């Protein structure tokens, strides 16, 4: 049973606009969340993380929002660039050792 | 260059023939892990290791073994591969369990016929 879900398999956004990628989780004990980006034929690359004591974390163009009551997190990319076109995975952990990943959202940024 | 190196990148093998996928990291990371990626299922954790000689099962450990005799190496062993282990495998390492993201290898595409 998937404990971390990314319900949108794909997303297309115009260059310069905001990309919003969403992730839902079912385990209320998760307290550490991460986002990864993956290009074809490469391993995932760590983007940004957030712990449950925060509701927002920002790193340059990337911001992650956490809504614990809704068990929902989102990744905002502003402004979106063509190089951001990739598959994005969210991941969650309770212990910090065992991580659960979503199925990924393929983002296409249109020039 | 800081990296996680997996070998081989591609492997086709037959059912039942033991194989090992190697993983090595040059960042002196304590934490290492193996994942498999399958369509519609995302990445699922197979095994992880918090340090030398310390390993534990992830979400899908059946049919796999690991060992961590040295800090830099974390091989994945399939004693008797079966077709349902056909998948894309990733090794990853991290400085610690929390507060740090993984560095992933480039992946090993395994086909078991």
pLDDT digits (tens, 9 = 90+) for B42-93: 899 999 999 999 999 999 999 999 999 999 999 999 999 999 999 999 999 9
Q: Which residues on B lie below 8 Å from A45 (Cβ)?
A: 104
The total of other beta-carbon atoms located within 10 Å of residue B91's CB is: 31
B7-B9-B13 Cα angle (round to 5): 90
B88 inside 8 A of chain A by CB: no
Helix (H) or strand (E) run with residue A34 in it = strand A32-38
pLDDT at B1: 86
Contact B106 A42 (CB under 8 A): yes
Q: What are the tens digits of pLDDT across the range A8-18?
A: 999 999 999 99
- Looking at the DSSP bridge assignments, the partners of residue B92 are B33, B104
Return the SS3 of A84: helix
Q: What is the mean pLDDT of residues B31-38?
A: 95
**To probe the interface with B, which of A30, A88, A99 has the most B CB atoms within 10 Å?**
A99
Query: Which of A98, A96, A100, A92 shows the shortest CA–CA distance to A73?
Result: A92
For tokens 């349902």, name the residue.
B84
Q: What is the Cα Rg of chain A in Å?
A: 13
Q: How confident is the model over A56-73, as a mean pLDDT?
A: 97
Helix, strand and coil in chain A, % to nearest 5: 5, 55, 40
Contacts of residue B31 in chain A, CB cutoff 8 Å?
Answer: 97
> Does the beta carbon of B54 lie under 8 angstroms from any beta carbon of chain A?
no
Q: Are A89 and A6 in contact (CB under 8 A)?
A: yes
Is 80 exceeded by the pLDDT of residue B98? no
Contacts of B58 in chain A (CB under 8 A): 98
- What pLDDT score does B82 carry? 97
């Amino acid at each position: 049973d998937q404990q971390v879900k990314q319900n949108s398999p794909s997303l297309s956004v115009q260059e310069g606009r905001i990309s919003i990628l969403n992730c839902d989780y079912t385990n209320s004990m998760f307290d550490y969340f991460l986002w990864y980006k993956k290009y074809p034929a490469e391993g995932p690359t760590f983007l940004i993380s957030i712990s449950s004591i925060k509701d927002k974390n920002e790193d340059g163009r990337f911001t992650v929002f956490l809504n614990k009551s809704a068990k929902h997190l989102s990744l905002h990319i502003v402004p979106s660039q063509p190089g951001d076109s990739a598959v994005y995975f969210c991941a969650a952990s309770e212990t910090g050792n065992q991580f659960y990943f979503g199925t990924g959202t393929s983002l296409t940024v249109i020039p | 260059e800081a990296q996680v190196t997996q070998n081989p990148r591609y492997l086709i093998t037959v059912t039942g023939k033991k194989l090992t996928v190697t993983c090595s990291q040059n960042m002196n990371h304590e934490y290492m892990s193996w994942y498999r990626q399958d369509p519609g299922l995302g990445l699922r954790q197979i095994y992880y290791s918090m340090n030398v000689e310390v390993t534990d099962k992830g979400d899908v450990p059946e049919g796999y073994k690991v060992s961590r005799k040295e800090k830099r190496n974390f091989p994945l062993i399939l004693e008797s591969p079966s077709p349902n282990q056909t998948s894309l495998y990733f090794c990853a390492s991290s400085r610690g369990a929390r507060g740090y993201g993984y560095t992933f290898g480039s992946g090993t595409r395994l086909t078991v016929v």
